[in-house]
Amino acid sequence: MAERLGEQAYVYYKAGDWDGTSSFTGELKGVLSSTPVIEDAEAQFTTRDMRGFEAFKQGLRRWHLDCEIVWDPTVTSFQAVRDAYLNRTNIALGILDGPVGTTGSQGPGGTYVVTRFTRVEDHGEVMKVEVSFRMTRNATTPPAWITIP
Protein backbone atom coordinates (compact mmCIF):
# COMPACT_ATOMS: atom_id res chain seq x y z
CA MET A 1 0.00 0.00 0.00
CA ALA A 2 1.28 3.44 -0.86
CA GLU A 3 0.82 5.96 1.90
CA ARG A 4 -0.61 9.31 0.92
CA LEU A 5 0.11 12.71 2.40
CA GLY A 6 -2.68 15.18 3.15
CA GLU A 7 -1.49 17.49 0.41
CA GLN A 8 -2.06 14.70 -2.13
CA ALA A 9 -5.82 14.82 -1.54
CA TYR A 10 -8.15 16.80 -3.80
CA VAL A 11 -11.59 18.33 -3.53
CA TYR A 12 -13.38 18.77 -6.85
CA TYR A 13 -16.53 20.84 -7.31
CA LYS A 14 -19.34 21.68 -9.68
CA ALA A 15 -22.20 24.13 -9.08
CA GLY A 16 -25.54 22.34 -8.73
CA ASP A 17 -26.33 18.67 -8.22
CA TRP A 18 -23.95 15.75 -8.60
CA ASP A 19 -24.63 13.62 -11.69
CA GLY A 20 -22.99 10.44 -10.42
CA THR A 21 -19.83 10.80 -12.51
CA SER A 22 -16.34 12.15 -11.90
CA SER A 23 -17.11 15.12 -14.16
CA PHE A 24 -16.47 18.30 -12.14
CA THR A 25 -15.82 21.95 -13.04
CA GLY A 26 -12.44 21.91 -11.37
CA GLU A 27 -10.41 21.60 -8.21
CA LEU A 28 -11.28 23.57 -5.09
CA LYS A 29 -8.20 25.82 -4.90
CA GLY A 30 -6.52 27.19 -1.79
CA VAL A 31 -7.51 24.39 0.58
CA LEU A 32 -5.31 24.69 3.67
CA SER A 33 -6.78 21.72 5.52
CA SER A 34 -9.76 19.44 5.12
CA THR A 35 -11.51 16.80 7.16
CA PRO A 36 -13.88 14.55 5.23
CA VAL A 37 -16.11 12.89 7.81
CA ILE A 38 -17.66 9.56 6.91
CA GLU A 39 -19.63 8.06 9.76
CA ASP A 40 -22.80 6.25 10.72
CA ALA A 41 -25.22 7.31 13.39
CA GLU A 42 -25.67 4.77 16.14
CA ALA A 43 -29.00 3.21 16.99
CA GLN A 44 -28.96 1.55 20.37
CA PHE A 45 -30.93 -1.67 20.82
CA THR A 46 -29.71 -3.03 24.13
CA THR A 47 -31.84 -5.84 25.51
CA ARG A 48 -31.76 -7.73 28.79
CA ASP A 49 -30.05 -10.71 27.22
CA MET A 50 -26.94 -8.56 26.55
CA ARG A 51 -25.97 -9.13 30.24
CA GLY A 52 -24.82 -5.59 30.96
CA PHE A 53 -23.39 -4.74 27.54
CA GLU A 54 -24.77 -2.15 25.15
CA ALA A 55 -25.71 -3.23 21.64
CA PHE A 56 -25.75 -0.95 18.60
CA LYS A 57 -26.76 -1.01 14.95
CA GLN A 58 -25.56 1.34 12.29
CA GLY A 59 -28.03 4.14 11.67
CA LEU A 60 -28.15 6.77 8.97
CA ARG A 61 -24.89 7.48 7.19
CA ARG A 62 -23.29 10.95 7.28
CA TRP A 63 -20.79 12.28 4.78
CA HIS A 64 -19.61 15.85 5.24
CA LEU A 65 -16.55 17.97 4.72
CA ASP A 66 -15.07 20.66 6.95
CA CYS A 67 -12.20 22.65 5.48
CA GLU A 68 -10.23 25.87 5.57
CA ILE A 69 -9.73 27.76 2.33
CA VAL A 70 -7.56 30.79 1.61
CA TRP A 71 -9.76 33.90 1.41
CA ASP A 72 -9.31 34.94 -2.22
CA PRO A 73 -12.47 36.25 -3.94
CA THR A 74 -10.64 36.33 -7.30
CA VAL A 75 -10.45 32.50 -7.46
CA THR A 76 -13.29 30.82 -9.38
CA SER A 77 -13.67 27.91 -6.95
CA PHE A 78 -13.82 30.33 -3.97
CA GLN A 79 -16.58 32.22 -5.79
CA ALA A 80 -18.52 28.98 -6.39
CA VAL A 81 -18.41 28.06 -2.68
CA ARG A 82 -19.27 31.60 -1.57
CA ASP A 83 -22.16 31.79 -4.03
CA ALA A 84 -23.48 28.37 -2.99
CA TYR A 85 -23.56 29.64 0.59
CA LEU A 86 -25.03 33.08 -0.11
CA ASN A 87 -27.64 31.80 -2.59
CA ARG A 88 -28.42 28.61 -0.61
CA THR A 89 -27.80 26.48 -3.68
CA ASN A 90 -26.33 23.00 -4.05
CA ILE A 91 -22.74 22.24 -4.92
CA ALA A 92 -21.44 18.86 -6.13
CA LEU A 93 -18.23 17.61 -4.52
CA GLY A 94 -15.81 14.79 -5.17
CA ILE A 95 -13.48 14.36 -2.18
CA LEU A 96 -10.69 12.20 -3.59
CA ASP A 97 -7.39 10.84 -2.28
CA GLY A 98 -5.66 11.64 -5.58
CA PRO A 99 -6.16 13.52 -8.86
CA VAL A 100 -9.43 12.93 -10.73
CA GLY A 101 -7.43 11.83 -13.78
CA THR A 102 -5.48 9.13 -11.93
CA THR A 103 -6.67 5.53 -11.97
CA GLY A 104 -7.53 4.34 -8.47
CA SER A 105 -8.20 7.77 -6.92
CA GLN A 106 -11.24 7.40 -4.71
CA GLY A 107 -13.53 9.04 -2.19
CA PRO A 108 -17.09 10.20 -1.56
CA GLY A 109 -19.09 12.06 -4.17
CA GLY A 110 -22.44 13.74 -3.78
CA THR A 111 -24.55 16.87 -3.58
CA TYR A 112 -23.84 19.23 -0.68
CA VAL A 113 -24.95 22.53 0.80
CA VAL A 114 -22.63 25.02 2.50
CA THR A 115 -23.79 25.44 6.10
CA ARG A 116 -20.84 27.43 7.40
CA PHE A 117 -18.79 30.14 5.74
CA THR A 118 -16.79 31.86 8.50
CA ARG A 119 -13.96 34.27 7.74
CA VAL A 120 -10.95 33.97 10.05
CA GLU A 121 -8.77 37.05 10.48
CA ASP A 122 -5.89 35.97 12.75
CA HIS A 123 -3.11 38.51 13.28
CA GLY A 124 -0.04 37.67 11.19
CA GLU A 125 -1.78 34.85 9.31
CA VAL A 126 -3.30 34.62 5.86
CA MET A 127 -7.01 35.42 5.89
CA LYS A 128 -9.04 32.24 5.43
CA VAL A 129 -12.58 30.94 5.51
CA GLU A 130 -13.81 27.92 7.47
CA VAL A 131 -16.35 26.05 5.37
CA SER A 132 -18.72 23.21 6.26
CA PHE A 133 -20.29 21.19 3.47
CA ARG A 134 -23.21 18.92 4.44
CA MET A 135 -24.85 16.27 2.28
CA THR A 136 -28.25 17.26 0.91
CA ARG A 137 -31.03 15.71 -1.11
CA ASN A 138 -30.56 15.11 -4.81
CA ALA A 139 -33.72 13.71 -6.37
CA THR A 140 -31.95 11.96 -9.25
CA THR A 141 -28.51 10.83 -8.01
CA PRO A 142 -27.75 9.53 -4.51
CA PRO A 143 -24.29 9.92 -3.01
CA ALA A 144 -21.77 7.22 -3.88
CA TRP A 145 -18.15 6.20 -3.47
CA ILE A 146 -16.16 7.29 -6.53
CA THR A 147 -13.28 5.15 -7.82
CA ILE A 148 -11.53 6.44 -10.93
CA PRO A 149 -11.21 3.53 -13.42
Mean pLDDT (whole number) for 28-52:
91
Give this prediction's pTM: 0.87
Place 65 in a pLDDT band, splitting at 50, 70 and 90: very high
Q: How much is the pLDDT for 48? A: 87
Beta strands in the chain (DSSP E): 10-15, 26-27, 31-44, 56-70, 91-96, 106-120, 128-135, 144-147
Q: For domain 6-36+64-147, give the fold.
A: Pnp Oxidase; Chain A (2.30.110)
pLDDT at residue 3 is higher than 90: no
User: Per-domain residue ranges for the chain?
Assistant: 6-36+64-147
